[in-house]
Amino acid sequence: MISASDAAPVLPERDNALRENWRTFKVAVRLGWQVEGNWADPLVFLIFAILRPMAAALILVLMYEVIAGGERGAYFNYLYLSNAFFVLVIETMAGLAWTVLEDRENYKMLKYIYTSPARKFSYLIGRAVARISLGLLTTLVLLATGILFLGLKLDRASIEWGWLVLYFPLGMVSLLGLGICLAGIALVIARHGGSIGEVTAGSLLMFSGAFFPVDGLPPVLREISLGVPITYWLEGMRRALTGGVLIQTTTAPDGSTTSQPISPLLATFDNVQLLVILLVAAVVSAVVAALFFRWVENQAKERGMIDRITGY
Amino acid sequence: MGLDLHADSSISTYDNAAEGRDVIPSGTAQRNAPHVARPLAIHVENLSRIYKSRGEKKKKGEQAVPKTLNALDGVDLEVYQGELFGLLGPNGAGKTTLIKILTTLLAPSSGTARVDGLDVVRDSNEVRRRINMVSGGETSGYGILTVRENLWMFSQFYGVTWKDAYARIDELLKIVELEDKKNALVSSLSTGQRQRMNFCRGFVTDPKVMFLDEPTLGLDVHAARIIREFTKDWLQKNPDRTLLLTTHYMAEADELCDRIAIIDHGKVLACDTPANLKRLLQKQPTFEISAAGITERTVAALSSAPGVVGVTALPDPSGASQKLNFILEDESAIGSVVSTLTAHNGSILTLQKNEPTLEDVFIKLVGRSLTAAEPTE
Amino acid sequence: MRKSVGLELFLRGAFARGYPRVFGAHRELSWLFFEIVIPLINISAYVFLYRALNAPEQYVGFVVVGGAMATYWLNVLWMMASQLYWDKQAGLLEIYIMSPASLMSILLGMGVGGLYMSTLRAGAITIIGSLLYNVRFDGSQWGFALLVFVVTMIALYGLGMLLSSVFLMWGREAWQISLALQEPVYFMAGMQFPLSKLFLTIPGVFTLISAAVPVSFGLDAMRQLLFPGQIVGVFAPWIELLILAAMGVVFVTIAFIMLRRMEWLAKVEARLSLRWQ
């Protein structure tokens, strides 16, 4: 006769959702760091991590030099600052999409994540934290290098810390939302779409005013860029670090000078309006990401993509 | 066109003689004629392989102490042409290391290994023309190609002509029951189907020496049976081919292998036919008879019957009969046992021969079962 | 069963390995978007940057040609140099090594297949980019430009073979190094700006590194031929052609030696089947 003490061990009670998410997130963060960094010594790892974005920055610097010579005007600040923060765009998007592909195709772990009670969203975000943190570090290194060696002019007194503290996290939420959508797409495509995050981030160069003011785009494309949250985020970061809208002064052949915002279109938004736009974008991104990812997950399950290997 | 199981190799045995290697007369390997000298297909002498690892840091700041692992330690092995030779051993015994050396994927640390008379280190390219390997659980292949295309592609790395390749592929796919999937993309196959495809990959090149590393791992009963039947058939029809098989399935080794080597911690512990290996444990045959109407007199008569070494009587729990365990000098003595029993009015209910299994032999030699983590002794 | 040896085996192996890339790639068409549309958008970003800087219009042409060449560099990096690393993870490297076909023939197949895929992409990018941004090429020396292109490809894919031999030994370091070589080579090869400007700006040792990448002189020579008079090259195109030809010979020769050496080393150190390390 079976007594109470002979009964099967009682499973731990299901924790509340917040604790479960936090637990999954913590594990995923640790895993993400291990996966990203355990192939080399920390120093070598850091060098490699910074090499690419530094080269990308140097490309822009040289392009600027080719045309403008040694002069470092407001446009240089515009270009350099945008590029420095754009690193975060790349790392967030690439990080999330690559996590899905890596776990599915390389480590073949995705199916085990999906059959476990781990919270998938928290897992994804946790795994991407390593790359996002690296992105942040790279941005800081780029800014320091720019100031020390490449002629980036930033005055500490001009930095508007309040706006910086507000704009930065809101922009990151939008980025994460977009990254999660890309991760969802990565779930249902073949392996050679592994660069989906990177190439999508790269394409945003066109539409975010990172390299050139959105005013220079044809009308249709300009409208697209005004619908991209990153456009406002980069503008917000530039303003917060330089103390306001960047103004370019040009000298005409007759010696007269004219000053105008580098991006007159974006200059029409004041800081509060930028903040509201970023806030709305953050909320919409989060909601859309949650709904889209859920839908794409179902598609992936129907098509058997959770554990499919597609490399060639 | 049927599967060309009688394929003649394009490699002349006289090439070997001309180049000063061991002369291997073709067509003389006969699996069922042990008295005829058979050439060696695989010859391993004092083979060792040491792995070095970085070791672990015990404390922060401490230098990691490099570790070495003797994966193979002075292994000697001879496999004759036409044999289906089994390699049994627990995980980490050195089986895969040995196969990797023989298939030119790994360099030995010392000793020599020859396949079809050719040194695996010095003549690796020539060895490769004569061998192939299939690993169990292998799911290699390009997902974007069809089954047929994948197999064709792998055949090209061995220089097989397109006509021969396609004919062979179609026959092999029929045998492993993948014919209906020949134009399916590999990415759409189940794991078992991919394994069967990879099994075909090994045989499509008609190798002289074939290495199967747990070929039925993860396959269902039916698929595993197909693989085993094909393996036996292939060797039967091609007596100049040789097959080295590693497996964890004792019954498979017992059923298929002409000889088996048991390996553990990089050393060969025993190498013989399955029957002889079992005799290591028990030289005399034992029988168990369940009989009714047995008296003490019957037992006494049985113990002095010709050819009987010993007999023990155990009461059957049901009480209706008795179990008698016999140790005989020879199998033929069972006849005298039966006649003695019947002469004393005993009636035989069941009769069975008890043999040690290969697993018993394994445990005796290795000290633990194939899957046990700790030694039993 | 007849089995080929020698040159016939070499060619069979190369053809077979190139087959998945030439024929297989067309079965999953998502690459059309990712590897043509997205690079075009990337190029467009640089075009608009030059226009925002009021650069002379020929710089647009430089960026389009540079963007097309970037396709080949990425292909060499990811589908040749580190391809053996990916094949190792998939368990295919062991099958290749165990076969009598040489690794050179397998890499040649990869290279030719990759060249085909990249040419489709680069061609599409060049045509569409030229139409979108009104780039005018001078066709008077198209034969010379084509010769420079072919020799550049031989040198580039030779470098790819050389890198792949080194990557045979590595685990994840191979992947990280490939990642690290992307943008830095874009910079060092002057993909978005004239090479001569780079050589005037960076220290001498870096110019040597830049010169060692075949894309640098190949791109510089092709720009001089396709946009004559609009760019100052580092050397005259014929000199750069000779340098590229020499590079091709050197890289392929060293690749042959290194592949054998690295394969042997990988066998001694048991790295041929190390996965996800």
Any bridge partners for residue B135, and if so which? B213
> Average pLDDT for residues A50-78, to the nearest whole number?
85
Cβ contacts (< 8 Å) between A311 and chain B: which residues? 142-143
Q: Is B342 on the interface with C (CB under 8 A)?
A: no
Q: Which helix (H) or strand (E) holds A168?
A: helix A161-187
**How large is the average pLDDT for residues A236-240?**
95
**By the 8 A CB rule, do C21 and B162 touch?**
no
pTM, two decimals, is 0.78
Under the banding of pLDDT at 50, 70 and 90, the label for residue A237 is very high
**How far is residue B251's CA from residue C133's CA, in Å, rounded to a whole number?**
72
Residue A299 burial (CB count, 10 A) = 12
In order, the DSSP letters of C114-169 are HHHHHHHHHHHHHHHHHHHHT----GGGHHHHHHHHHHHHHHHHHHHHHHHHHHTT
Q: What is the pLDDT of residue A166?
A: 96
What does the pLDDT read at residue A99? 83
How many angstroms separate the CA of residue C179 from the nearest CA in chain B?
A: 24
**Which residues in chain B touch residue C270, judged by CB atoms under 8 angstroms apart?**
51, 106
Please list, in sequence order, all residues whose beta carbon lies within 8 angstroms of the beta carbon of residue A291, skipping any fewer than 6 positions away. none
How high is the pLDDT of residue A13? 57
> Could you say which residues from 69 to 128 on chain B have a Cβ atom under 8 Å away from some Cβ of chain C?
100, 103-107, 125, 128
Q: Are B94 and B266 in contact (CB under 8 A)?
A: yes
ipTM above 0.90, yes or no: no
pLDDT at A195: 67
Distance from CA of B162 to the nearest CA of A (A): 22
- The predicted pLDDT at position B8 comes to 35
Instruction: Tell me which range, A7-11, B132-136, B146-150, C93-97, is most confidently predicted by mean pLDDT.
Output: B146-150
pLDDT category of residue A159 using cuts at 50, 70 and 90? very high
Q: By three-state DSSP, how is residue B23 classified?
A: coil
For chain C, say whether A144 makes contact (Cβ under 8 Å): no
Chain A neighbors of B139, CB-CB under 8 A: 309
Least Cα separation, residue C167 to chain B (angstroms)? 17
Nearest CA among B371, B348, B342, B349 for reference residue B359: B371
- The rounded Cα C46 to chain-centroid distance in angstroms is 21
Give all strands of the β-sheet with B110-115 in edge-to-edge order. B67-80, B40-53, B110-115, B118-119
Cα–Cα distance for residue pair B154/B205, rounded to 1 Å: 9
CA dist., res. B206 & res. B131, Å (int): 8
pLDDT digits (tens, 9 = 90+) for A259-307: 889 999 999 999 999 999 999 999 999 999 999 999 998 888 888 777 7
Name chain C's partners: 3 or more CB pairs within 8 A.
Answer: A, B
> Which is nearest to A259 in space by CA: A271, A273, A240, A245?
A245
CA-based radius of gyration for chain A: 23
> Which residues of chain B make contact with C90, given a CB cutoff of 8 A?
140
Q: Which of B154, B158, B183 to mutate to test the interface with C (most CBs of C within 10 A)?
A: B158
Name the neighbours of A, counting chains with at least 3 Cβ pairs within 8 A. B, C
Model confidence at A102, in pLDDT bands (50, 70, 90)? confident
Mutate to test the interface with B, among C89, C94, C95 (most CBs of B within 10 A): C95
How far is B167 from B151, CA to CA, in rounded Å? Answer: 11
What is the distance between the alpha carbons of residues A92 and A123, in angstroms, rounded to a whole number? 14
Q: How far is B257 from chain A (nearest CA, A)?
A: 35
Contact B105 C97 (CB under 8 A): yes
Pairing status of strand B40-53 against strand B209-213: unpaired
Whether the CB of B166 is below 8 Å from some CB of chain C: the reply is no
Q: Which residues on neighbouring strands pair with residue C89, listed in sequence order?
A: none
Mutation target among B140, B142, B144 for the A interface, most CBs of A within 10 A: B144
The number of residues making up chain A comes to: 312
Secondary structure element (H or E) that encloses residue B350, with its range: strand B347-354
CA C33 distance to own-chain centroid: 20
Q: Are β-strands B259-264 and B267-272 bridged in parallel, bridged antiparallel, or unpaired?
A: antiparallel
pLDDT at A11 over 60: no
**Dihedral over Cα of B219, B222, B228, B234: its sign:** negative
Are C56 and C243 in contact, with CB atoms under 8 Å apart? no
Contact C36, B195 (CB under 8 A): no
SS3 state of residue B113:
strand
Helices of type H across chain C:
6-22, 30-32, 38-52, 58-76, 83-89, 92-98, 103-133, 142-167, 172-180, 182-188, 195-201, 204-212, 214-226, 237-268
**pLDDT digits (tens), chain B, 377 positions:** 333 333 333 333 333 333 333 333 333 333 444 445 789 999 999 999 998 765 555 555 666 666 788 889 999 999 999 999 999 988 888 998 999 999 999 999 999 999 999 999 999 999 999 999 998 877 778 888 999 999 999 999 999 999 999 999 999 999 999 999 999 999 888 888 988 999 999 999 999 999 999 888 878 888 888 889 999 999 998 999 999 999 878 888 888 899 999 998 999 999 999 888 887 776 678 888 999 988 888 989 998 999 998 888 887 676 778 888 888 888 888 999 999 999 999 999 999 988 777 777 887 777 766 555 334 33
pLDDT digits (tens, 9 = 90+) for A134-158: 889 899 999 999 999 988 988 889 8
* pLDDT tens-digit readout, C115-154: 998 998 899 999 999 999 999 999 899 999 999 999 999 9
Residues 187 to 206 of B: which have CB under 8 A from any C CB? 201, 205-206
Q: Which is nearest to A234 in space by CA: A264, A261, A214?
A: A214
Which chain A residue shows the shortest CA-CA distance from B139?
A309
Predicted confidence (pLDDT) at residue C173 exceeds the cutoff of 80: no
Tell me whether residues C100 and B100 touch, CB distance under 8 A.
Answer: no
DSSP per-residue codes, B236-294: HH-TT-EEEEE-S-HHHHHHH-SEEEEEETTEEEEEE-HHHHHHHH-SS-EEEEEEES-
Better-predicted residue by pLDDT, A242 or C84: A242
The beta-carbon neighbor of B105 closest among C15, C94, C100 is C94
**CA torsion angle C86 C87 C91 C94 (round to 10):** -140
Choose the closest CB to C98 out of B128, B142, B156: B128
- Asked whether B230 and B221 are in contact (CB, 8 A), the reply is no
Q: Is B12 on the interface with C (CB under 8 A)?
A: no
What confidence score (pLDDT) does residue A4 get?
52
C interface test, pick of A44, A54, A62, A83 with most C CB neighbours within 10 Å:
A62
Tell me if chain A has a CB within 8 Å of the CB of C255: no
Residues of B in contact with A312 (CB under 8 A): 142-145
State residue A192's pLDDT score: 54
Query: Quick count: other Cβ atoms within 10 Å of Cβ A280?
Result: 13
Residue B198 φ then ψ, to 5°: -70, -30
Beta strand segments in B54-130, E: 67-80, 84-88, 110-115, 118-119
Q: Could you read off the pLDDT of C258-274 as tens digits, one per residue?
A: 888 888 888 887 777 65
Q: Is A310 in contact with B143 (Cβ distance < 8 A)?
A: yes
Helix (H, G, I), strand (E, B) or coil at B346: coil
Neighbours of A55 (CB within 10 A): 18
Closest-CA residue to A39 (of C212, C177, C96, B49): C177
What tokens does C235 get? 């050397």
Strand, coil or helix: C194: coil
Structural element, H or E, at residue A222: helix A219-226
Confidence check: pLDDT of C46 > 60: yes
Which residues from chain B sit within 8 angstroms of residue C268, using beta carbons? 107
Question: How many angstroms separate the CA atoms of A103 and A180, rounded?
Answer: 15
- Mean of the per-residue pLDDT values for chain A? 85
Which residue reads 């005004």 in tokens? Answer: A226
Give per-residue pLDDT as tens, A107-131: 778 888 888 777 888 888 888 888 8
Q: Which residues in chain A are contacts of C191 at CB distance < 8 A?
A: 59
Give the integer Cα–Cα distance in Å for B88 and B244: 11
Asked if B68 reaches chain C (Cβ–Cβ under 8 Å), the answer is no
- Please tell me the predicted confidence (pLDDT) of residue B371: 56
* Minimum distance, in Å, between the CA of residue B44 and any CA atom of chain C: 18
Question: Residue B156 has what pLDDT?
Answer: 95
- Rounded to whole angstroms, how far apart are CA atoms C106 and C108? 5
B132 touches chain C (CB under 8 A): yes
The residues, ordered by sequence, that sit 6+ positions from B369 with a Cβ below 8 Å of its Cβ are: B359, B362, B363, B376
Q: Which residue has the tokens 């690290």?
A: C180
Query: How far apart are alpha carbons B136 and B144 in whole angstroms?
Result: 22
The pair of structure tokens assigned to A138 is 């790279």
